[in-house]
Amino acid sequence: MRQDSGFKAEWILVLVTVLAAFGWIFSKEALAGLPPLFFMGARFLIAGFVLFLVGQKYFRVIQWGDVKQAIMIGAVMGVAMMSWITGLDKGTNLGVGAFITCLGVVFVPIIGRLVFGVRPPLSIWVALPVAVVGLAFLALSNGLSFEVAHLYFLGTAIGIAFQLNLLSRFLVRMHVLVLTSIQLSAAGVLLLCVSFLTESLPHSVELEVVGWFFASTLIATSLRYLLQTYGLSLTPVSHGAVIMNLEPVWAAIFAVLWFDEVMTIGQVFGCFLIFVAMLVSRWSQIKGIFKSH
């Protein structure tokens, strides 16, 4: 039963990576007409409110202590997103920035081991270096150059790793709808507060931009984070972290299809290595399937 639950979680998390990759397209289109912090803050706040409307009955039994923990996770998420936007604004080599940001899921078992005392299986430690090399081939096709913005991307990666570890610790006590709604809302409020202090809002927004905003909010945020939280509740966060390395793979594929970008041989090889890392991370389960047949 546990193995079935594990495979169910992995398929859910694969879908999460697809939705997250679509989110890059939705966000890029929406940012053509909206300030970045305002866009992300409004997106998260509305997404959290939508989930609250869907799961109102689950909010009737929550305790204030659990709410405070969910708000803390949301605050960590909000800081990570602010760091990402700042790096995106200051950076010139987005490939390197994307590579560093994607290391967030690689840092998950490391943070879990050092801070929370979690011991991932050996297969995770074997899979992670393969995933890192794959990410490098995928994101560093234009070469490697260091700049101050990369420190912000590194902060984003560390923030994501802490957020996912905190999620895995609090999931057992809260319904996924409640936890996802509160953390998105908390992140949204934090981002909007900073936006109102630092950004100027446009006088008008085109209807097309509004459409991309709601696609980003409902599909790439409400649905994506709900499924991500649920998927992580069914499998160890270290396993989920390896699967979530698929996000830049899908993003690269969708960029080819949507923006007519071209993938190099190195990027294709990077996608292959990330897929291999997924298989390595679940090698014991894969061997069990072959033995049963």
On the question of pLDDT at 1 being above 50, the answer is: no
Distance (Å, whole) CA 48 – CA 42: 10
Report pLDDT digits (tens) over 76-128: 999 999 998 788 777 665 556 666 777 777 788 888 888 888 787 777 788 88
Please answer whether residues 113 and 165 qualify as being in contact, where contact means their C-beta atoms are separated by less than 8 angstroms: no
Please answer whether residues 17 and 244 qualify as being in contact, where contact means their C-beta atoms are separated by less than 8 angstroms: yes
On the question of pLDDT at 279 being above 60, the answer is: yes
Q: Tell me what the mean pLDDT of segment 261-270 comes to.
A: 77
Domain boundaries, the chain: 2-292
Q: How far is CA 3 from the centre of its chain?
A: 24
| Planar angle of CA 155, 96, 229, nearest 5 degrees | 50
Report pLDDT digits (tens) over 20-62: 888 878 887 888 889 989 999 999 999 999 999 988 888 888 8
pLDDT of residue 96: 63
